[in-house]
Amino acid sequence: MSALPPDQPLRLLSVHAHPDDESSKGAASCARYVADGVEVMVVTCTGGEAGSILNPAMDTPEVRADMVGTRRAEMDKAAAILGVQHRWLGFVDSGLPEGDPKPPLPPGCFALEPLEVPTEALVRLVREFRPHVVVTYDENGGYPHPDHIRTHEVSMAAFDAAGDPDRFPLAGEPWQPLKLYYSHGFSKARIQAFHEALLEAGMESPWAEWLEKWDDSRQDPGARITTRITCAEYFPVRDDALRAHATQIDPNGRWFQMPMEMQQRVWPTEDYELARSLVDTEESNEHPGDDLFAGVRERVGA
| CB-based burial label for 143 (10 Å; 0-12, 13-18, 19+) | exposed
76 annotated ligand-binding residue: no
Report residue 128: phi and psi, to 5°.
-75, -50
59 annotated ligand-binding residue: no
The Cβ of residue 22 has, within 10 Å, a number of other Cβ atoms equal to 29
Q: Is 8 left (phi over 0), alpha (psi -120 to 50) or beta?
A: beta
Helices (H), 135-284: 146-161, 188-200, 208-212, 235-244, 260-266
Helices (H), 36-171: 61-65, 67-82, 116-129, 146-161
The Cβ of residue 191 has, within 10 Å, a number of other Cβ atoms equal to 19
The answer for residues whose C-beta is within 8 angstroms of residue 143's C-beta and 6 or more apart is 186
The answer for residues whose C-beta is within 8 angstroms of residue 6's C-beta and 6 or more apart is 37
18 annotated ligand-binding residue: yes
> If DSSP codes are grouped into helix, strand and coil, which group holds residue 155?
helix
- Say if residues 127 and 174 touch (Cβ distance below 8 Å): yes
DSSP 276: E
Element (H, E) at 196: helix 188-200
Binding residues: 18, 21, 148
Binding residues for Zn(2+): 18, 21, 148
